[in-house]
Structure 1
Amino acid sequence: MNFDPNAILRGAQLTLVGVHRALQNPGLFTSTHYRQAALAVAAGFAIRLVVAIPIVGVRALLWVLSFMVDMKHAQWDDAVVEGLHFLEHSVLQVPFFLMTLMRYITPTLDQMFMDSLNWVDQTYIQKHKSEDPHNLRALYYPNLQMYSTHGLKPEKRTPLKQTITVFAIKYGRKAGISLAVLALSYVPHVGRFVLPAASFYTFQNAVGPQPAVAIFAASLLIPRKYLIMFLQSYFSSRTLMRELLEPYFARVRYNKEQKKLWFRDRAGVLFGFGLGFYVFVKIPMVGVLIYGLAEASTAYLITKITEPPPPPSEAETYKQESLRWKNKHEFLSLPWQNMDAHNIEMTKGTHQSEVRQTPRKQFS
């Protein structure tokens, strides 16, 4: 039930609604964010150049070889270039890796998440300003901003170089597994079963054994190229979702098992949300810009899939209670055109003191 079609479609809907809400925030249209948007476009151009270097190098090598070998009727040279392009973009996901690496270099995305979360709270207050404050949900931004970004004392925080190294090692491990699976898929006789078996292994925990068997059977009929693209889209959308949620988890510090349960209980919605943005962040040049918009939209997502955090002194209790998505069934059964009704019912009566203590003029 965590990964049913309705949950995935709700996640995709949250993608569209989140973008709409984020673009309504006047705080995104400031000189600072304009400058960051320009830098994002420049970064997208730089990523495009970096990724193109190997392909340009191979083309140059083939051009040199053409003076020594007759390639007028050869087909393998085009196959080499196309294969390298497919390897970079669909197997190793090099542009996506470089894009997500930017989070660890600049704090802009973290600030964009918090600014957008504040805007979501402001919008909520304005929409319900005529109602009894005691019946409104608590706010997300005021308490979450009090949490330490890393949950550690400055002298114990991980250096940036070490953080980037760990991230690169993690990516390298995933890239190595992808290359190994791809290589095994070319083994005679048994190779055609490698990718379908990987599909079954991937989805049995997410959707259950019976749907996973159906995916395995369908995978036997899908060409290798498209099956690889399907699997990599699934893994990359999950990675993207985890990166987008990092500003939240950098403050509310779940341990490994807690975070695993948190993600599993919301798997379908998170996959739909992540997949929706993954399709757009792959657009050359502007993908980095859309990545920033996805971060801003994640603030709206948070208000739908978890409860408002209490002050940091109550963080441990909150973490235990928030592992399960308490109002999942109510949210997934809401009419498509009335998703915001979830805001009131979700946390009515919880943390109401925060609502009463927050000056109303702050949200005007």
Structure 2
Amino acid sequence: MASNERPKRPHIDKEKLKEKFDTSHFDINAIIRGAQLTLVGAHRALQNPGIFTSQHYKQAAIAVAGGIAIRLLIAIPIIGIKVLLWAISLFYSLENATWDDKLVNGLGFVEEHVLQAPLFFMTLMRYFTPTLDTLFMDSIKWVDTTYVQKHKADDPSKLRGMYYPTLIQYSVRDGSTHSSSTAENVSMFLYRFARKGLISLVIFGASYLPLVGRFVLPAASFWTFHNAVGLGPASIIFGTGIVLPRRYLVIFLQSYFASRSLMRELLEPYFARIHFTKEEKKKWFRSREGLLFGFGIGFYILLRVPLLGVLIYGIAEASTAYLITKISDPPPPPSQVQEFKTSQTEWKDKHKFLSLSLANLDALIEEPPPYSPEDPFPSRSAR
């Protein structure tokens, strides 16, 4: 006898589906505020007289020299190819050929946009000199100082806690490996960059395959963005990517990756002291993803200024000190760091902060900090 039971309809988890389409952590307001903080942070950083010392002038000169060296390093392969082509032209006329120009231009494009060579050399310097870490700490001290000066007429009990006095108490280890070994940290950095570069080259090469090649970059864009912006916007990016020229799609995709890498490097002095676990760090970044993208893409564009890119990198590091005071709570003494880390994985004041005007960014103060039932900065109310 035939069964009258209807086949069960597949269960749809509405909460998971809603989560897939959630764009709250990557909304346009957060991105715009991040871009605004690029300019505000740079302005605040350049107001710090502490960075205009003989030591920092020396570092600035080294940075400019480093910028020249980076451009030369990037140019070496292209110069080598040009010399080879010149040698070939002695025996074979290339006047009517176009492949030689395409080869040289293609190599330049791969170095600049696919492999992100300039960013690689700039970020590599962090592991050989403490200048950027020192610049971050000097800048966060300056942010604390200017905050106190700005609010010296206010009730001390209503002011936020300080960042520098407690951050300076933490031991410094690599934010990813949690190791103090330079060799290990450099090895991990090279591994990460080599892995990203290889993946980029494979995807870029696959985009030239017949028939399926035109879908490779749009598919990579969809896969990259669906976790960040949700399925809806990612689908739009996929559809747009099919009709966009390959060159612009590569620039778009790599700019996103580069801005993320840049932000992770700029925030390294903070994470080198507040040692989040891998999962905690992932949640920390995700809850602030839109704002960090806006901040990172702004400086990524400025970093592409020839020769001055390394100097701008220093300004970006100093600006990140200002940024961290807006997207995280003042850290407690090291003994309370575990509770603090747990409280920071979600950016609780996001909507309040995004609603503030640029002139009133210091207005968001809550007492006591959410990671402790008691105020860990009793000295403020005692003054």
TM-score of the aligned structures, taking structure 1 as reference length = 0.94
SS at match of 2:26: coil
Q: Which residue of 2 aligns with 1:235?
A: 257
**Which of 322, 327, 335 is 1:300 aligned to?**
322
Q: Which residue of 2 aligns with 1:69?
A: 92
User: What is the one-letter code of the residue matched to 1:115?
Assistant: D
Q: Distance in 2 between matches of 1:230 and 1:89?
A: 13
Q: Which residue of 2 aligns with 1:283?
A: 305
**Which of 126, 134, 149 is 1:103 aligned to?**
126
- Once the 2 structures are TM-superposed, how far is the Cα of residue 161 of structure 1 from its aligned partner? 2.2
Q: Distance in 2 between matches of 1:118 and 1:158?
A: 23
Q: Distance in 2 between matches of 1:238 and 1:350?
A: 34
User: What is the one-letter code of the residue matched to 2:49?
Assistant: P
In 2, are the aligned partners of 1:244 and 1:295 still within 8 Å (CA)? yes
SS at match of 1:14: helix
RMSD of the TM alignment (CA)?
1.7
For residues 193-204 of structure 1, the aligned pairs below 5 Å read 193-204=215-226
SS at match of 1:339: helix
In 2, are the aligned partners of 1:134 and 1:352 still within 8 Å (CA)? no
**Which of 253, 266, 288 is 1:266 aligned to?**
288
- For the pair 1:245 / 2:270, whether they are aligned, the reply is no
Q: Stretches of 4+ moved more than 4 A in 1?
A: 345-350
Provide Cα deviations, 1:106-146, integer angstroms capped at 9, x if missing partner.
Answer: 00000000000000000000010011100111111101110
Higher Rg: 2
TM-score of the aligned structures, taking structure 2 as reference length = 0.89
Q: Distance in 2 between matches of 1:255 and 1:157?
A: 13
Q: Which segments of 5 or more consecutive residues in structure 1 lack a partner in the other structure?
A: 359-364
- C-alpha spacing 1:331/1:169, structure 2 compared with 1 (3 Å): same
Q: Which residue of 2 aligns with 1:148?
A: 171
User: What is the one-letter code of the residue matched to 1:284?
Assistant: P
User: What is the one-letter code of the residue matched to 2:48?
Assistant: N
- For the pair 1:309 / 2:309, whether they are aligned, the reply is no
User: What is the one-letter code of the residue matched to 1:234?
Assistant: Y
- If asked which structure has higher relative contact order (CA below 8 Å, sep 6+), I would say 1
Identity of aligned pairs, percent?
A: 58
SS at match of 1:8: helix
- Once the 2 structures are TM-superposed, how far is the Cα of residue 157 of structure 1 from its aligned partner? 4.2
- C-alpha spacing 1:278/1:189, structure 2 compared with 1 (3 Å): same
SS at match of 2:307: coil
**Which of 151, 163, 168 is 1:128 aligned to?**
151
Q: Distance in 1 between matches of 2:94 and 2:326?
A: 58
Provide Cα deviations, 1:286-332, integer angstroms capped at 9, x if missing partner.
Answer: 10000000000000000100100000010111111111111111001
Bigger drift between 159-168 and 114-123 goes to 159-168
Q: Distance in 2 between matches of 1:221 and 1:151?
A: 42
User: What is the one-letter code of the residue matched to 1:281?
Assistant: L
Q: Which residue of 1 aligns with 2:378?
A: 353
**Which of 255, 271, 276 is 2:277 aligned to?**
255
Q: Which segments of 5 or more consecutive residues in structure 2 lack a partner in the other structure?
A: 1-23
- Once the 2 structures are TM-superposed, how far is the Cα of residue 34 of structure 1 from its aligned partner? 0.5
Q: Distance in 1 between matches of 2:380 and 2:280?
A: 28
Q: Distance in 2 between matches of 1:337 and 1:130?
A: 18
